[in-house]
Amino acid sequence: MKIAEPGFHEKLSNIPARSWSKAHFSGRAKCDILLNNICEVFNRRLIGARDKPVITCLEFIRVYMTKRIVNVKKIQAKAHGPLTPHAQEVFNKIKEEASQLNVLMVDAVQYQVNSSRSQCVVNVKNKTCTCRKWDLTSMPCKHAVAAINDMARNDIRIGVPEELVDEVYWLSTWKKVYENVINPIPGPENWITSQCPTKLLPPKHHKQVGRPQKKRKKSVGEAEVEAHFDSERKMTWKGNTTKCSNSTAVYVRNAVYVMLLLVMQLMYQTH
């Protein structure tokens, strides 16, 4: 990166590598997602309520969460486990890929796993693989699953590979998270009036720092039109400066000339 994009390398050097490089992630998050889409999704759900007063906004969130918990429980009831439906789908794909790999057993713990493109070292005891996917996601990668299958073939370990997937992906954990419900509440007409003496006042107005902006911000269309005029408000055309023939000044000047000619003609006729 230093050779190919020096500027980009310099910018990234100012940010700790653990914030942007998978090679430096600790694995504590048990997730290798780099996006904050969860916040984006929640924010999108709140579009109808976020400009409302605080009570209305909180009521919107409460109703939304109540509905969400019910919907999640319906999905959970249909799932078979042992992992959550999405985690099971991901892990099934990993298991399918693992069947294509060659495993070389070193001892009961260490395995060298080869594919046509790569070669990785799996340590089943430490739950690590040199591809780092097992470390980062806490879900065995295809190399690890291939090693686990090899262990089963050699009677070292009998059990499903899902047992080595971290409990955060288990259906039972997901059910535990959603076991509580948000209790229904009666309407505002039944609410007890607050005894809190504090009066809600509008926030204090703060004068903005710096000189206040006098000119308004121009829209995109206006800015494009402005680009056709020079500093003296003359229209430019292909590099040459030309005066607009329809301007008011030219019109007034021509009118004055006509009037003067008429006056001179009248004076000439009267003499």
Give the binding site for Zn ion (CB under 5 A): 120, 129, 131, 141, 143
Cβ proximity to Zn ion: between 59 and 97 the closer is 97
Residue placing its CB nearer to Zn ion in the complex, 66 or 112: 112
SS3 237: strand
Q: How far is the CB of 148 from Zn ion (least distance, A)?
A: 12
Q: What is the gyration radius of the CA atoms in the chain, in angstroms?
A: 36
Distance CA 35, CA 215 (A): 39
State the nearest-atom distance from the C-beta of 23 to Zn ion, in Å: 14
- Count helices and strands (H / E) in the chain: 9, 6
- Nearest approach, Cβ of residue 17 and Zn ion (Å): 21
**Nearest CB to Zn ion, comparing residues 95 and 143:** 143
Nearer to Zn ion, 120 or 165 (CB): 120
We find the least distance from the C-beta atom of residue 94 to Zn ion, in angstroms, to be 10
Asked if residue 53 has a cis previous peptide bond (ω within 30° of 0), the answer is: no
Question: Among candidates 182, 181, 162, 158, which has minimal Cα distance to 172?
Answer: 162
Nearest distance in Å: CB 109, Zn ion? 15
Smallest separation (angstroms) from Zn ion to the CB of 114: 12
Tell me how crowded residue 106 is: count the other CB atoms within 10 A of its CB: 11
Say if CB 115 and CB 1 are below 8 A apart.
no
Nearer to Zn ion, 83 or 136 (CB): 136
- Helix axis angle for 85-98 and 142-153, nearest 10°, is 70
Other beta carbons within 10 angstroms of residue 268's beta carbon come to 8
Closest to Zn ion by CB, 87 or 144: 144
Distance CA 105, CA 111 (A): 5
